[in-house]
Amino acid sequence: MPIDTPDLLDRFLRYVQIDTRSDPHSTTTPSTPGQWDLLRLLVTELTEMGATDVTLTEQGYVLATVPATTRKAAVPRLAWFAHVDTAPNLPGAAKPIVHHAYDGCPIVLPDDPKQRLTVETIPHLRAAIGQDVITASGATLLGADDKAGVATVMAAARHLLRHREIPHGVIRLCFNPDEEIAGGMKHLDLALLEADFGYTIDGELPGEIDYETFSADAAVLEIHGIAAHPGWAKDVMVNALRIAGRFLAALPPNQSPECTAGRDGFIHPVESAGSAEHVTVRMILRDFELDGLAAKRALLEKIVAELRASEPRARLELTFNEQYRNMRYWLQHDMRPVEFAQEALRRAGLTPASQAIRGGTDGSNLTARGLLTPNLFCGMHEVHSQREWVSLQDMARAVITLLHLAQVWEERSA
How far, rounded to the nearest angstrom, does the alpha carbon of residue 161 sit from its chain's CA centroid?
A: 27
**DSSP-assigned letters across all residues of 213-242:** B-EEEEEEEEEE-B---GGG-TTT-B-HHH
Q: What pLDDT, on the 0 to 100 scale, is given for residue 1?
A: 67
From the candidates 179, 204, 287, 388, which is the catalytic residue? 179
Q: Do the domains 221-324 and 5-213+326-411 match in fold? A: no
The residues near 323 (Cβ < 8 Å, ≥ 6 apart) are 182, 216, 217, 218, 284, 360
Which candidate, 398, 399, 391, places its Cα nearest to that of 127?
Answer: 391
C-alpha–C-alpha distance, residues 168 and 377, integer Å = 21
Q: What pLDDT, on the 0 to 100 scale, is given for residue 359?
A: 84
> pLDDT digits over 40-97, tens only?
999 999 999 999 999 999 999 999 999 999 999 899 999 999 999 999 999 999 999 9
CB burial of residue 299 (10 Å; 0-12, 13-18, 19+): middle
Q: What pLDDT, on the 0 to 100 scale, is given for residue 184?
A: 86
Q: What pLDDT, on the 0 to 100 scale, is given for residue 350?
A: 98
Beta strand 389-391 with 133-135 is antiparallel
From the candidates 19, 45, 85, 388, which is the catalytic residue? 85
Whether 85 is catalytic: yes
Q: Look at the domain 221-324 and name its fold.
A: Alpha-Beta Plaits (3.30.70)
Whole-model pTM over 0.75: yes
Q: In the chain, what are the domain boundaries?
A: 5-213+326-411, 221-324
Which candidate, 177, 242, 198, places its Cα nearest to that of 42?
Answer: 177
- Asked if 283 and 221 count as a contact pair (C-beta separation under 8 A), the reply is yes
Which candidate, 388, 372, 362, places its Cα nearest to that of 82?
Answer: 362
The partner residues of 81 in beta bridges, in order of sequence, read 174, 200
| Burial track 250-265 (b if 16+ CB lie within 10 A, e otherwise) | ebeeebeeeebeeeeb
C-alpha–C-alpha distance, residues 137 and 175, integer Å = 26
Q: What pLDDT, on the 0 to 100 scale, is given for residue 205?
A: 94
Tell me what the pLDDT averaged over the chain comes to: 96
Where does 5-213+326-411 sit in CATH, by number? Answer: 3.40.630.10
End-to-end CA distance of the chain: 25
Residues of the chain whose pLDDT is less than 50?
A: none
- Asked if 34 and 20 count as a contact pair (C-beta separation under 8 A), the reply is yes
C-alpha–C-alpha distance, residues 106 and 162, integer Å = 39
> pLDDT digits over 276-293, tens only?
999 999 999 999 999 999
